[in-house]
Amino acid sequence: MRPRSAWPRRAAATTTMPGPEPRPDVGRRGAGQATGAGRLDLDRLLDLLVEAGLLEHALAVDLRMKAALKLRSLERARERTPLADVAVSPAELVASFRLPARGQGTISEQRIQQALADAAGCRYITVDPLRVDANLVVDTISQAYARKNAALPLGHVDGRFVIAIDDPYANDVREAMSARLGIPVELVVAVRGDILRTLEEAFRFRANVKAAVAELGGPGTDFGNLEQLVRLGTGGDSLDGDDSHVVQAVDFLLRYALDQAASDLHVEPKRVASRVRLRIDGVLHNVHELPKVVHNALISRIKTLARLDIAEKRRPQDGRIKIAHREVEVELRISTMPTAFGEKVVVRFFDPGVLLQDLDALGLFSDELQLVRGFVRRPNGLLLVTGPTGSGKTTTLYSALRAVASPTVNVATIEDPIEMVVEEFNQTAVNLKLGLGFDVLLRTLLRQDPDVIMVGEIRDAETARNAVQAALTGHLVLSTLHTNDAPSSIARMIDLGAEPFLLATTMLGAVAQRLLRKVCLSCREQGPIAPDVAVALGMEPREAEGFQVFVGRGCAVCRGTGLKGRIGVFEVMALDERLRKLVLSGADAVEIGRTAQRHGMRTLREAAIKKLALGLTSPAEVLRVTAEGAL
């Protein structure tokens, strides 16, 4: 059966949660709370949108005539989804027409909810799943009541309990929850779909965790915890990693991490709980605190998927998983390690949409892009990409390899480990247990008739010499080094044993890079750069005058950081005749860098300031990422 719609006009709803009966005016009302009687219906919503200047009166009249037919269509479509038992709201119906708004754009559900919040005197929020306490949601409200009323408990603020809801006129919900909790309740307005999606995630995940705990039947003995207090006469069986509830919980965590565009998922044992964290845009966020009793089962499930030895808990292990997410195959790299409180696992996500990009999507300026394309089109030579761990070097290398890969080109890689399997490449993994290091594999690879070689990292003297020799004998060689800037890569190669005269002959150039977090487009504000920040960036007073920057205020979209997403910033140095002579003469990295700057090389700091001027990032982010300073 289809759910009964909450409209047309009807009397105020009286359904409440089990518990104390609703009573009027329990405590004081939340600040700015709606006091009108009755739930929101279509007529009332359209009147509000017209009064708010969002909708033309003629369009409102036309919509009323078409509403019934559209509603039936939406209900039929919803029958095939997990929301089959949830009624279509008036806001969802209006938004489905995609009507033009006064001014510009269309009347989206988000704009409708913002208008509703203004009319009712409530706050409007965007639901951030990472900031929702799933335990609090499950402990505060029943799933049926939450879904029926699209009510999401958020927590205590200034003596009130805050609940996100799509209908600010649902005073029956406010009063029922206030009676149940014994404190005033404030309703804040959010998009219905966001609320229902978060409720579904919270209840489903917690239900699986609770079921797993129940099947275990107790806390058991945690042999992985060095501080575990074992009480004599108690114990418990181990929970199987193949248990269906654990399987669903792990599946949820992996999907959730991908939905949030996380690069890493951490499952960490602590003294009395298990903590789950996600790294998003380079920053770790707490997501869940789980009962310690299910930690080993979650780890065992992940290890089973990665074909690791679930019985081995004392030694680190590495594995891989490939999963399908939204019709895209995503590679997951698994790393386990014993810690003081048990076994920890980190899952790194390699989304092909992020790792395999075109060169022009990396964030290179046009002159830098022209240089890099020139490097990879050369038949032979050595190109080095430098930067710390997590600076995007692998993405740059894979993008460069894709630019040259073709049926007529043999592209071979040596990696530790293989970050992502790409069919166009012939990829080999380092295996030190078998004596297969970068040096040994590179010697072998030279007998495999390669055209283009990618060496994951040059770490030792033999690999450095072999890479230079490969470039000298007619191969294009790409590799990485851990140096702070492009000029230092030359000194590092010489330190590793590469002969300066051979390096000057074979080296095409070096690319140093970092990842800058971008200013959130939803909350950014423009203003003049602060004088002290301009000084810290090394800008001249004349340059700083009139220099405008964007800074994010912080909103739900960016989780209060003012920053969302990342973009590369690069220092591209081409080895021309001037620099080759300096290398042959034994010049140091500072002299090489200054000469390169005089002839057009843009330093990391200068490239970051240029992105700052374009409104792509913030002053604080430029200072953080380019802390090494300019040459």
Residue 8: cis peptide before it, omega within 30 degrees of 0: yes
Torsion of CA 251, 256, 259, 261, to 10 degrees: -110
Q: Any idea what DSSP says for residue 340? A: T
Q: Is the pLDDT confidence value at 348 over 80?
A: yes
For 381, list phi and psi in degrees, rounded to 5: 135, 175
Residue 387: predicted pLDDT: 92
CA distance 296 to 212: 11
Least confident range of 208-212, 319-323, 365-369, 373-377: 208-212
Q: Average the pLDDT over each of 191-200, 400-409, 622-631 and give the range with the smallest value.
A: 622-631
Contact 331, 347 (CB under 8 A): no
Q: List the structure tokens of 447.
A: 């007998």
List phi, psi (to 5°) of 527.
Answer: -170, 170
Confidence grade of residue 216 (pLDDT, cut at 50, 70, 90): low
Fold of 217-224+238-350: Beta-Lactamase (3.30.450)
277-288: string of b/e by CB count within 10 Å (b at 16+)?
bbbbbeeebebb
**Beta carbons within 8 Å of 73's beta carbon, 6+ residues apart:** none
Round to whole Å and give the CA distance between 192 and 165: 7
Which token pair is 521? 């487009």
For the beta carbon of residue 6, count every other beta carbon within 10 angstroms: 20
pLDDT at 217: 56
- Radius of gyration for the alpha carbons in the chain, expressed in angstroms and rounded: 29
Mean pLDDT of 451-457: 94
CATH topology assigned to domain 354-514+568-602:
Rossmann fold (3.40.50)
pLDDT grade, residue 218 (50/70/90)?
Answer: low
Cβ-proximal residues to 239 (8 Å cutoff; 6+ apart), any chain: 212, 215, 216, 246, 293, 294, 296, 297
- What's the DSSP call for residue 575? -
Question: Would you state the structure tokens that stand for residue 557, as one six-digit string?
Answer: 């979209």
Q: How far apart are the first and last CA of the chain?
A: 71
Query: What sign does the CA torsion over 196, 202, 208, 211 have?
Result: negative
Alpha helices (H) in 405-556, listed in sequence order: 438-445, 461-472, 488-495, 500-506, 531-536, 541-544
Cis peptide, bond prior to residue 417, ω within 30 of zero: yes
| Helix and strand numbers, DSSP H then E, in the chain | 23, 18
Alpha helix segments (H runs only) across 121-161: 134-140, 143-149
pTM of structure: 0.69
CA distance 72 to 315: 59
**Phi then psi for 185, rounded to 5 degrees?**
-120, 135
d(CA 579, CA 576): 5
Q: Tell me how far apart the alpha carbons of residues 89 and 108 are, in angstroms, rounded to a whole number.
A: 13
Average pLDDT, the chain: 84
Q: Report the range of poorest mean pLDDT among 36-50, 198-212, 220-234, 360-374.
A: 220-234
Interatomic CA distance for residues 346 and 204, integer angstroms = 23
Q: What is the model's pLDDT at position 33? A: 44
Instruction: Label residue 418 left, alpha or beta by phi (over 0 means left) and psi (-120 to 50 means alpha).
Output: beta
Give the pLDDT confidence of 75-134 residue by residue, as tens digits.
Answer: 888 777 777 778 888 988 888 888 887 767 788 888 899 899 999 899 998 888 878 888
Per-residue pLDDT tens over the stretch 402-429: 999 999 999 999 988 888 888 899 999 9
Q: How confident is the model at residue 630 (pLDDT cuts 50, 70, 90)?
A: very low
Q: What's the half-sphere exposure (Cβ side, CA atoms, 13 Å) at 62?
A: 8
The answer to whether residue 229 scores a pLDDT higher than 70 is: no
Q: Where are the domains of the chain?
A: 42-125+143-189, 217-224+238-350, 354-514+568-602
Task: Give per-residue pLDDT as tens, 6-51.
Answer: 443 333 333 333 333 333 333 333 333 444 446 888 888 998 888 8
Q: Which two tokens stand for residue 427?
A: 């990829």
Judge whether residue 353 has pLDDT over 80: no
- Those residues whose C-beta lies under 8 Å from the C-beta of residue 532, and which sit 6 or more positions away, are none
Residue-level pLDDT at 287: 87
Written as six digits, the tokens of 142 are: 């029943």
The percentage of the chain sitting over the pLDDT mark of 90, rounded to a whole number, equals 40
Mean pLDDT value across residues 296-313: 90
